[in-house]
Amino acid sequence: MNADIQSYVKEVSRNLPKHVNRAEVTAELRAHLEESVLERCEQGMDAGAAVKAALEHMGDPVKLGRAYNGTRPLPAVLWSGVLLLANALCLGAGLGLLAGLRAGSASAAYGFQMLAAGKVWVLLGYGLMWVLSGFILGRKYGAHAEKRIHRMVLPPLLPNYLFMLLVLFGILPSEWFNSLLSLPFVLMCIASTFLFSHLARLGCRWGRHASLHVE
């Protein structure tokens, strides 16, 4: 490891609060700095300048160490429940709109028409929800969240998998979704459903890195 990085990490470690797991924090900080240096080298910087820029970006090591609050125990079941509730609200809103459409509601028909017109944006926004969920968990719980994020996200996504199967096997008539179910969009939805947990993990990693910076 670069001597400047080693010195920086040691200085941060000396100033960490007593309750913090020093080995875990220093390993995470070291990995983050090495990634940052590598990214800068790939952009054309020489190694020495890349190290200097990465350390300057992190800020004063004494302040960074003292500002670090540590990560709390991760209540995985609780957070999985929160994600399940958020996902159920999104899915429930869509099903409610569909039920209103089938019942002949003019406002539901208008809402469904708007949904069909902006379906790609809705899907992108839904994916962003999973990224931000991961970010919040990563920022709050660090490595603990990243290690368990897939298991935390899977239960909330089970209703999505069930709904997708009901449509694909014709249990829910596909004609109900004629304005939505173009082949490209169906394929996009299937791919996205299996990517949401990976998006959450990406957000989690982003949150971990953000937690290392001094405000």
Condensed to tens digits (0 to 9), the pLDDT of residues 24-51 reads 778 888 888 888 888 888 888 888 898 8
Question: DSSP letter at 20?
Answer: S
Q: Is 122 within 8 Å of 187 (Cβ atoms)? A: no
pTM of the model: 0.60
What digits encode the pLDDT tens for the residues 193-214?
Answer: 888 888 988 998 888 777 665 4
As a residue count, the chain comes to 215
pLDDT of residue 214: 45
Q: Give the pLDDT mean for 2-18.
A: 85
| pLDDT(215) > 70 | no
Alpha carbon distance 91, 94 (integer Å)? 5
How many CB atoms lie under 10 A from the CB of residue 166?
11
Q: Give the pLDDT mean for 100-109.
A: 83
Q: Give the pLDDT mean for 129-150.
A: 81
H helices of 43-118, in order, are: 47-58, 61-67, 76-102, 106-117
pLDDT of residue 117: 83
| pLDDT(21) > 80 | no
What digits encode the pLDDT tens for the residues 155-188?
Answer: 888 888 888 888 778 787 777 777 676 767 777 8
| pLDDT(111) > 80 | yes
CA dihedral of residues 69, 73, 75, 76 (deg, nearest 10):
100
pLDDT of residue 62: 85
| pLDDT(85) > 80 | yes
- Residue extents of the structural domains in the chain: 3-67, 76-211
Backbone region of residue 44 per phi and psi (left: phi > 0; alpha: psi in -120 to 50; beta: other values): left
Give the chain's largest Cα–Cα span.
Answer: 71
Buried b (16+ CB within 10 A) or exposed e, 111-149: bbeebbeebeebeeebeebbbebbbebbbbbbbbbbebb
Q: What is the CA radius of gyration of the chain?
A: 23
Give helix 3-14 / helix 47-58 axis angle, nearest 10°: 20
